[in-house]
Amino acid sequence: MAKQLNIALVGNPNSGKSSLFNELTGLNQKVGNFPGVTVDKKTGVCKINQDLTVNFIDLPGTYSLYPKRSDEWVAYKVLLNQDKDVKPDMVLLVADASNLKRNLLFCSQIIDLKIPVVVALTMMDLAKQKGTQIDISGLERELGVSIVPVNPRKNKGIPQLKKAIEIAHQNLHIAPYKDFINSQTLAGESIAAIQNYLPNLSKYTAIHYLINHENFLLDKNTQDAIEQIEIDTKFNPTKTQAEEIMQRYSRIKHIMQQTVVESDPLQKALLTEKLDTILLHRTWGYLILVAVLFILFQSVFFLAQFPMDWIDGGFSKMSLWLTTVLPAGWFIDLFINGILAGLSGILVFVPQIMILFGLITILEDTGYMARISFLSDKLMRKVGLNGKSVMPMISGYACAVPAIMSARNIENKKERLLTILITPLMSCSARLPVYTILIALVIPSKFYLGFISLQGMVMMLLYLFSTFIALLVSYILKWFIKSTERSYFILELPMYRNPRWKNALQTMLEKAKIFVFDAGKVIMIISILLWGLSTYGPKNKMAAITTTYDALVSQNPTQAAVFNKQRNTALLENSYAGILGKTIEPAIKPLGYDWKIGIALVTSFAAREVFVGTMATLYSVGEEANDNTLKQKMAAAIKSDGSKIYSLATGLSLMIFYMLAMQCMSTLAIVKRETKTWKWPIFQLVYMTGLAYFLSWMVYTIFK
Ligand SMILES: Nc1nc2c(ncn2[C@@H]2O[C@H](COP(=O)(O)OP(=O)(O)OP(=O)(O)O)[C@@H](O)[C@H]2O)c(=O)[nH]1
Ligand SMILES: [Mg+2]
């Protein structure tokens, strides 16, 4: 039978682990030119040869074996065999050749843990550009492990790496590694006592048991025993760590003198450094940042307009055509006015979502995203956040769920919590559909200077305003959340790289797929449910309405069209959905909403994008067949006094409501998971929805 081997991919952040993982397993893990892209473990399978299959585990990056951030803990626990699910037999250490010294530190720690290891050396191309030459076989001899140069970006070196893994697997039981440093000298007495109690640990592993055992999967007796050893032998963790790092660096320095030739760093100013003098400039840097964000939002709105119009128009024509060719009946009605209407409500937003995700991926991939973090750290600090909060916040423009997870990258607990609390305020792509349709309804389509669209500007204002509110909320909350931890901002600025267009395209397709299927499922179910609720109602009442209008039509056959329309309206108002909407109408009337919007507020509690699907269903049920688009139907909707329902005041008020209210089950669930308590998601639900109600009411009152 084929052997199964578990191999963990570890290494410094942004060293290329996920890229290599993708090449080895054929999967599509998120890759980005930003330290801290991967924040959780992920497994994939690779067949090395007929007898050997490997489960590779992609892990978050760590700088050393002294974890601080919660994503570093994920990798640390796997390496110390303290993870419940993942037990590695071997480690594939991914080391960045252009930052060799720091990467070797981590490598040397793993060697001393005595886990079998193979090193994959990435970024050889960059090292070469820097003028660094590495004697690989010399380095192999010094470290006692095999080292394979690879370039996962260009798919180079993969067969050689597989071969090295195969050989390492065959030698698994032969040669134990030499110690890299002599751990005995660090805390000899304590180590001996631990090894006496837990005989299978290496000396260096014993040190980690002494320092971090509280977080390990150990029974109470073992915990107490280790605690006792610490006291008896007067173990000093800080001194031990400091001494360890010094010894390691001194040996690494020695090894690098033998095996690495570095050119004078002053001689070659790299492209990255040249670019950074402009892009991180005190004035230019900020101006360019604003320009980049401006272009981002204008393009989302502008580029997507054309495909959106085609999709919208296409669906309207199709449902008109289907009504004329298909026989009438409840099933056809459900299909056209329930399912098809709901479906077009989803598909029409795919272009915008793809463009937004594509552009964010490119920002990340080029390395500019890390610069945005750097530039905004000062501002972020003022409101209680950190430069690293920017990445979750900008990803929040796409979707709050992965964005909240990426906050694991923030060291300080308070800053991380604040980031989690405000990220759902960032206007995610699910709000885009709502904004888009409302903007189209209440903001005139005008262009300034021929290319700056007024609608695009309003869209950008919405994004700016939501960002402003997020910062404001953080500024207020920071006074209420206590913390004694010191805050610092350490972010390695990655080198600029060309974006990988294929990666951007893949992300776009993948996000579109997720949106259509995940959101689609919810929207579809709700659309069907809604069709039922809005087609049926209390029997007697519905029958009475039908009889009344039937009588009217037979008396005045010339007025039949008018009466039919009135009948349909009356039927919808008295259907179950109508009753539901009318019940909540008093609560939302002060915000300028009618009962149809009330229904949408209820249905979109699960997910915001359901708004459009709901509207599509509500406005097509009971309508005469026509090829009007949803936008045209909503624009034509009037109140009983003849004024438009979607006036500027109502439109703006609704946009503000959707911008601020917490209407997303998935976000609540992920916040619960990340903060490990229901307290924070409930807090978010209350404060966001309260804020939304209050500000929408204000906006409506002002513009009315
Ligand atoms: N020039 C060059 N770029 C590379 C190489 N390997 C990976 N990259 C790029 O390095 C960046 C980081 O790659 P990732 O695979 O996301 O790195 P990671 O180690 O998973 O990063 P974290 O998950 O943040 O720890 C991406 O932009 C890759 O395209 C290489 O050998 N040469
Ligand atoms: Mg990664």
Ligand having the closest approach to the CA of 31: 1
What is the reported pLDDT for 401? Answer: 85
User: Which of 480, 427, 346, 403 lies closest to 692 in space, CA to CA?
Assistant: 427
- Measured in angstroms, how far is the CA atom of residue 17 from the centroid of ligand 2? 5
Q: What is the mean pLDDT of residues 670-675?
A: 89
What are 299-328's pLDDT values in tens digits?
776 788 788 888 878 888 888 888 888 887
Q: Which residue has the tokens 């530190």?
A: 105
Residue 419: CB within 6 Å of ligand 1?
no
Ligand having the closest approach to the CA of 365: 1
pLDDT band for 7, please (50, 70, 90 cuts): very high
Q: With 70 as the cut, is the pLDDT of residue 376 above it? A: yes
Computed on alpha carbons and rounded to an integer, the radius of gyration of the chain in Å comes to 31
**Are 513 and 367 in contact, with CB atoms under 8 Å apart?**
no
Q: For residue 22, give the ligand 1 atom closest to its CA.
A: 15
Look at the alpha carbons of 495, 501, 502, 506 in this order and tell me if their dihedral is positive or negative: positive
Q: With 80 as the cut, is the pLDDT of residue 281 above it? A: yes
Ligand having the closest approach to the CA of 62: 1
Residue 146: CB within 6 Å of ligand 1?
no
- Measured in angstroms, how far is the CA atom of residue 94 from the centroid of ligand 1? 10
Q: With 70 as the cut, is the pLDDT of residue 597 above it? A: yes
Residue 123: CB within 6 Å of ligand 1?
yes
- Measured in angstroms, how far is the CA atom of residue 698 from the centroid of ligand 1? 48
Ligand having the closest approach to the CA of 154: 1
Residue owning the nearest CA to atom 8 of ligand 1: 16
Q: Name, in order, each residue with C-beta under 8 angstroms of 80's C-beta and a sequence gap of 6 or more.
A: 113, 205, 208, 212, 216
The pLDDT mean for the chain works out to 88
Residue 203: CB within 6 Å of ligand 1?
no
Q: Which helix (H) or strand (E) holds 110?
A: helix 100-113
Q: With 90 as the cut, is the pLDDT of residue 121 above it? A: yes
Q: Which residue has the tokens 């040869």?
A: 49
Q: With 70 as the cut, is the pLDDT of residue 269 above it? A: no
Look at the alpha carbons of 197, 198, 201, 207 in this order and tell me if their dihedral is positive or negative: negative
Residue 32: CB within 6 Å of ligand 1?
yes
Q: What is the mean pLDDT of residues 179-198?
A: 91
Q: With 70 as the cut, is the pLDDT of residue 1 above it? A: no
Least confident of 69-78, 230-239, 346-355, 490-499: 346-355
Q: If you average pLDDT over each of 38-52, 431-445, 513-527, 679-693, which comes out highest?
A: 679-693
Q: If you average pLDDT over each of 243-247, 347-351, 455-459, which comes out highest?
A: 243-247
Q: Which helix (H) or strand (E) holds 57?
A: strand 52-58
pLDDT band for 415, please (50, 70, 90 cuts): very high
What is the reported pLDDT for 656? Answer: 96
Least confident of 37-41, 101-105, 251-255: 37-41
Residue 387: CB within 6 Å of ligand 1?
no
Q: With 70 as the cut, is the pLDDT of residue 132 above it? A: yes
pLDDT band for 626, please (50, 70, 90 cuts): low
What is the reported pLDDT for 623? Answer: 64
Residue 16: CB within 6 Å of ligand 1?
yes
What is the reported pLDDT for 294? Answer: 81
Residue 363: CB within 6 Å of ligand 1?
no
State percent of the chain over pLDDT 70: 97
What are 446-502's pLDDT values in tens digits?
888 877 788 888 988 998 899 999 999 999 999 998 877 777 777 778 888 888 888
